[in-house]
Amino acid sequence: MTPGAQDRRRKELHLTDRGTELERKLHERQRTLFAAALEEAGPEAAEGWRAMLAPLAGQDWTAFTASAAERRAPQRP
């Protein structure tokens, strides 16, 4: 734990290298499961899910959708 940058009473936790790898694997698996579920549910259900998430995410929604679009874009060599 390290003190917060603006408030030293706040303790910030950081993942170890092993924890970072575990989080990456779990997040990858979760993304795969969500993608499969949304694909199976169809485009209307997927759009409904996104419409429901947008107000929950607030300002972060723009950053999330931008990064999701980047992940879906074809990779260039």
Residue 10's pLDDT is what?
A: 79
Residue 49's pLDDT is what?
A: 86
Residue 74's pLDDT is what?
A: 66
Residue 2's pLDDT is what?
A: 67
3-state helix, strand, coil split of the chain in percent (to 5) is 70, 5, 25
pLDDT tens per residue, range 32-76:
998 899 899 999 998 898 888 888 877 776 776 666 666 666 655
Q: Which amino acid is at 41?
A: A
